[in-house]
Amino acid sequence: MNNDFDLKEELAKLPHLPGVYIMHDASDEIIYVGKAVDLHNRVRSYFRKIVGRGPQIDLMVRQIGRFEYIVTDTELEALVLENNLIKEHRPRFNTMLKDDKTYPFIKVTVGETYPRIFLTRTVKKDKARYFGPYSSSYAVRETIDLLRRIFRIRSCSRQLPASGPQRPCLYYHMKQCDAPCMGKADPQAYRAQVDEAVRFLGGNYEPVCKMLEEKMLTASEQMEFEEAASWRDLLANVRQVTQKQKITSTDGEDKDIIAVAADGREAVVQVFFVRGGKLLGRDHFYVTAGLEETKEQILQSFLEQYYAGTLYIPKELMLDRVIPGQDVLEQWLSGKKGQRVYLRVPKKGTKEKMVEMAAQNAQIVLSHDRERIRREEGRTIGAVREISALLGLPGINRMEAYDISNISGYDSVGSMVVFEKGKPKRSDYRKFRIKTVTGPNDYASMDEVLSRRFAHALSGEEDGFSVLPDVILMDGGRGQVNIALAVLERLGLSIPVCGMVKDDFHRTRGLYFQNRELPIDTRSEGFKLITRIQDEAHRFAITYHRSLRSRDQVHSVLDDIPGIGPARRKALMRAFPSLDAMREAGEEELAKVPSMNAAAAAAVAKALRAQPPMDKQGKE
């Protein structure tokens, strides 16, 4: 468990509200995402001693370093947000449990002369109106069928107006379509009916619900109980479809949703990140407010500081309040991005609800987590400030650290880890398999890694390599620093390089910078951050090296098992990251892998029992 994460204290803070919970391991990687009707009850259940809940869950719980959560208004919102986060982060304990489903939308082709209404699972940038996503495709189909019957909207895919004579379909004879294909429907009257259906899907559904209730009651009074039950079920489907959610929007745009909560001089700013129309993550920031500062001034200061250092600015920032100098800030952000950026304070609809949800989460964080956030700020941004002061390098934000891993030169690999504002930015981590060096030559291997990394940055491609660091941290002293400086000079780059020096017991003792070793207080947050960065670079390199060896070993072991052909071998290697994970899963889990069965699983388990664990085959 994370040393700064008090499990008992955090469990007590969980609200009795719907939402999504996110489990992190000790290295802060997301390992599981789940949804809950009641976050308090659901998350606490993982940490009770429960017998028989399955080896996979027990294994996941043992690896939890901390958890976080996002509160939503409804269970449906939690469901859709969970789906978005799983697709974005691919947590390893979700992959066997979640499919890659997409949720249904209702599409109204308002750009056509005679619009249609139908279910779709893809949202395009066309002239159509999209509503959703929804959790039940059955309820969607029932509702579409109802709207067609009430508003007599066509269901065919014919191109209208038609060039020649058409024949009316069965729906015309059933009085469920006005046959626009025959020219029998007045375009204006038809459009009015479509507009009514669109208003219904947009939230004005009371007239339709009232009509269904009246039909249900009338049928019941006339003792037509089967018909009454049919109207009741249809009414339930309509209400399910009209339940609003705001986790996914149909505009497909990138936006940040920002809200502030404050109490005296303490404030929390919550940022939701919407990318491609989907809410994919969030972050919160603890802010110490100035004397007599309003929430508007706090938010303005945050925006100026945050977007001065962030690498990506979306097209739209949705705020919970109007801030001073909003027009000037818009111009500044537009200049940084190179295209127009909009600051908006939504007053109605889904966007307003999204901002309200951000504000609710900010208030929860401020109420429950202020002490933890203050400590976290000290060990991240505060630690970066300490390192900046020690090196005499103002304005450090992005730090990159490098390490090499091999066993007697076998399969040498390099790692690049990135920390921004004192936190790991795993999306920018990179792995390198050494191509030009034979044997255990760490200096030559590091030269290759740095040359490839910075040559890629100079190529002009927009990716994780395109952003240059404010300082480079090398795992070692003078020798490693000089390798890095030589590579930078060769490429015409000027970036400060600092060595993380260890003592004889492999513990960090100081920093090597500009030809001298700088002592650092081992009790300071700056020292602790340097140690975390050094450990993370080493861990990432070791993990990659182990995965290469494990993959080779798993491949060779599975090759020798009767009944395990190419398809099963590939499925097993996809399902389990290593031989040890495969061994720990047991026969029951092995049999669940696609194309496997009980007999094949027993054969694999028997073969794995004859293999020693990876950790006993050699240490890095």
- Please write the tens of the pLDDT for every residue from 58-91: 888 888 988 989 888 877 778 778 877 887 777 8
Q: Determine the Cα–Cα distance for residues 287 and 293; give it in Å rounded to an integer.
A: 12
Give the model's confidence band at 98: pLDDT under 50 very low, under 70 low, under 90 confident, else very high: very low
Is residue 89 helix, strand or coil?
helix
pLDDT: which is higher, 258 or 137: 258
Model pLDDT, residue 163: 60
**Mean pLDDT estimate for the chain:** 80
* Least confident span in 195-204, 367-376, 387-396: 367-376
What pLDDT band is residue 409 in, cutting at 50, 70 and 90?
very low
pTM comes to 0.47
- Which pLDDT belongs to residue 99? 42
Tokens of 135: 């959790």
Top mean pLDDT of 18-27, 246-255, 582-591 is at 18-27
Per DSSP, the chain holds a count of helices (H) and strands (E) of 19, 19
Largest CA distance in the chain: 95
**Residue 97's pLDDT band (boundaries 50, 70, 90)?**
very low
In DSSP terms, 343 is beta-bridged to 317
- Name 287's bridge partners: 267
Helix or strand holding residue 316 (H, E): strand 316-319
Which phi and psi (to 5°) does residue 386 adopt? -65, -45
Kindly compute the dihedral angle of the four CA atoms of residues 300, 306, 311, 315, in this order, to the nearest 10 degrees: -30
Which residue(s) pair with 425 in the sheet?
Answer: none
Q: Does residue 180 have a cis peptide bond before it, meaning omega lies within 30 degrees of 0?
A: no
The yes-or-no verdict on residue 426 having pLDDT over 50 is: yes
Determine what percent of the chain is predicted with pLDDT higher than 90: 14
Cβ burial of 174 (10 Å; 0-12, 13-18, 19+) is exposed
**What is the Cα–Cα distance from 438 to 422, expressed in whole angstroms?**
35
> What is residue 582's three-state secondary structure?
helix
Domains and CATH numbers, the chain: 7-89 (3.40.1440.10), 112-241 (no CATH), 255-369 (3.30.420), 386-541 (3.30.420.340), 560-616 (1.10.150.20)
Q: Is the pLDDT of residue 606 over 60?
A: yes
Q: Measured in Å, how far apart are the chain's first and last C-alpha atoms?
A: 24
Residue 618 in this model has a pLDDT that exceeds 50: no
Per-residue pLDDT at 96 exceeds 60: no
Give me 540's structure tokens: 């990432």
| Nearest residue to 103 via CA among 147, 144, 143, 139 | 139
- Mean pLDDT of the 322-351 span: 86
Residues 6+ apart with CB under 8 A from 174: none
The strands making up 129-131's β-sheet, listed across from edge to edge, are 117-120, 105-108, 129-131
Least confident of 22-31, 240-249, 466-475, 594-603: 240-249
